[in-house]
């Protein structure tokens, strides 16, 4: 395979949006070829689709993204498979909420006279913590590739930058083309709106409170019944196999939206990484109960093709956007820190809320500027802690409050 073939990792790659992306990458024209690493926790799902994929251009790695060791092993193998580079990481794996944080699990109703039980937080582990794991791993291997390319360039007699810590936004690839690493996280439109039916899925504290407090929630005889009314009729399907509520969960998706917006511009400046996220509307996948899909207006179901267009725009090395009125993305602007709401056949590039006043503008802009007061103060604190022989944590020592 040609050295300039790009390598992608797609987690949750054996079904739904992930499988659609895998097929999309493998069908790219000859001058834009990909080799794809499918990562999924279900080998049986891969067995069902493996014969339909080009065996010379993909590999499957059984992966539990919620496990650091498992995901680290995925990246090690993918890096070797890609000949020492990973061009694109689609952090797409997700899972459904196992129990509602306030309504509980109808199979195991809470005894209000007894002790409360610890909630099942698998959704948070897979949809949020695993994304943080993946981001750290992707940055690590991006830097390893950049170091190798710089060394190769110097050995070939090319002009190298005297600053060993500099990573340009486009690293020369001696095998042909350039190295422009991209990461796209699968968030959800529930990151933007109150989503009380599954608050953990859309989680951050702010979206959780919006979901639980700002929506008109009416519960009928909780938790004895499996049918819950949350503004509109919603049927939660009980999955007998794992005694879990198979619902489209809510709170984790706001967290990865915030991660994208916070680190996107920074990572592009320091490492040339384009970090973005997609926020699909209602998509008929394995995470959406068939009972809900049956009730959903068919013209408001978002097809996989809409997400594929978003992936194309967010990973384009030139920031290309088709001029057909179905995307409000800026053509010719390389995307980083962007959050794209994918609704039916349209893409909406959503922006953060406006600053409340000038003091809030100062607070945030000083965090964005690496020479701002946040960074200056934290560097001073870390230097002070190091001099005292303490672990130079970013802000707080263990036990310190916010």
Looking at residue 244, its pLDDT comes to 32
Task: Tell me the average pLDDT across 63-73.
Answer: 97
Looking at residue 78, its pLDDT comes to 98
Task: Tell me the average pLDDT across 349-367.
Answer: 95
Looking at residue 98, its pLDDT comes to 67
Looking at residue 231, its pLDDT comes to 28
Secondary structure, 3-state, 222-259: CCCCCEEEECEEEECEEECCCCEEEECCCEHHHHHHHH
First and final CA of the chain: distance in angstroms?
52
**pLDDT tier at 365 (50, 70, 90 boundaries)?**
very high
Distance CA 308, CA 341 (A): 12
Contacts of 355 (CB under 8 A, 6+ apart): 361, 364
Alpha carbon distances (Å) from 191 to 55, 243, 338, 392: 37, 26, 14, 33
Looking at residue 195, its pLDDT comes to 66
CA neighbor of 82 nearest in space, from 153, 21, 150, 2: 2
- Per-residue pLDDT of 173-200, as tens digits, reads 544 458 999 999 998 887 777 766 655 4
Architecture of the domain made up of 6-95+107-193+252-350 = 3-Layer(aba) Sandwich (3.40)
Handedness of CA 260, 265, 270, 276 (dihedral sign): positive
User: What own/partner pairs with CB < 8 Å and gap ≥ 24 does 370-375 have?
Assistant: 370/266, 370/269
Q: What is the average pLDDT score of the chain? A: 80
Looking at residue 218, its pLDDT comes to 33
340 φ, ψ to 5°? -115, 115
Residue 225 pLDDT more than 90?
Answer: no
Residue 162 pLDDT more than 70?
Answer: no
Alpha carbon distances (Å) from 343 to 161, 189, 319, 340: 44, 9, 20, 9
Bigger pLDDT: 398 vs 126: 126
Bigger pLDDT: 291 vs 336: 336
Residue 262 pLDDT more than 80?
Answer: yes
CA angle 80, 271, 18 (to 5 degrees): 55
Task: Tell me the average pLDDT across 290-318.
Answer: 93
SS3 388: coil
Residue 232 pLDDT more than 50?
Answer: no
Looking at residue 391, its pLDDT comes to 62
Q: Where are the domains of the chain?
A: 6-95+107-193+252-350, 358-402
**pLDDT tier at 247 (50, 70, 90 boundaries)?**
very low
Contacts of 97 (CB under 8 A, 6+ apart): 123, 198, 200, 201, 245, 247, 248, 249, 250
Q: Which range is least confidently modeled, 28-42, 114-128, 332-346? A: 114-128
For residues 218 and 202, the answer to whether their CB atoms sit within 8 Å is no
- DSSP assignment of 94-110 equals ---BSSBTTTBBTTB--
CA neighbor of 313 nearest in space, from 341, 291, 289: 341
> What radius of gyration, in Å, describes the C-alpha atoms of the chain?
22
Residue 67 pLDDT more than 80?
Answer: yes
**pLDDT tier at 264 (50, 70, 90 boundaries)?**
very high
Looking at residue 392, its pLDDT comes to 53
Helices (H) and strands (E) in the chain, counts: 11, 15
């Amino acid at each position: 395979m040609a050295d300039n073939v790009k390598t992608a990792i797609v987690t949750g790659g054996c079904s739904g949006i992930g499988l659609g992306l895998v097929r999309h990458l493998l069908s790219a024209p000859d001058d834009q070829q990909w080799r794809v690493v499918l990562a999924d926790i279900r080998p049986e799902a891969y067995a069902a689709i493996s014969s339909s994929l080009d065996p010379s251009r993909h590999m499957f790695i059984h992966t539990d993204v919620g496990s650091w060791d498992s995901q680290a092993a995925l990246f090690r193998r993918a890096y070797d498979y890609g000949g020492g580079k990973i061009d694109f990481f689609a952090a797409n794996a997700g899972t459904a909420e196992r129990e509602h944080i306030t309504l509980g699990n109808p199979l195991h109703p809470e005894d209000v006279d007894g002790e409360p039980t610890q909630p099942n937080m698998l959704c948070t582990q897979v949809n949020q913590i695993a994304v943080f794991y993946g981001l750290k791993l992707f940055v690590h291997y991006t830097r390893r590739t950049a170091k190798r390319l710089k060394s190769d360039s110097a050995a070939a007699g090319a002009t190298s930058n005297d600053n060993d810590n500099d990573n340009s936004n486009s690293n020369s690839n001696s095998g042909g083309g350039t190295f422009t690493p991209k990461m796209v996280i699968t968030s959800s439109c529930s990151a933007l709106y109150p989503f009380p039916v599954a608050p953990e899925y859309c989680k951050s504290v702010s979206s959780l409170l919006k979901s639980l407090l700002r929506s008109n929630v009416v519960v009928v005889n909780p938790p004895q019944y499996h049918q819950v009314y949350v503004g509109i009729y919603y049927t939660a399907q009980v999955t007998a196999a794992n005694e879990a509520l198979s619902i489209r969960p809510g709170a984790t998706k706001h967290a990865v939206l915030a991660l994208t917006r916070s680190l996107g511009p920074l990572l592009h400046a320091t490492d040339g990484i384009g970090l973005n996220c997609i926020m699909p509307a209602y998509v008929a996948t394995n995470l959406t109960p068939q009972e809900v899909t049956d009730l959903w207006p068919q013209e408001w179901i978002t097809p996989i093709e809409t997400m594929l267009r978003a992936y194309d725009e967010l990973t384009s090395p030139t920031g290309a956007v088709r001029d057909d009125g179905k995307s409000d993305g800026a053509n010719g602007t390389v995307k980083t820190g962007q959050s794209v709401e994918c609704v039916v056949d349209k893409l909406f590039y959503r922006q953060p809320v406006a600053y409340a006043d000038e003091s809030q503008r100062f607070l945030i802009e000083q965090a964005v500027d690496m020479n701002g007061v946040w960074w200056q103060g934290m560097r001073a604190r870390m230097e002070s802690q190091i001099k005292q022989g303490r672990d130079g944590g970013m802000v707080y020592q263990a036990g310190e409050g916010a």
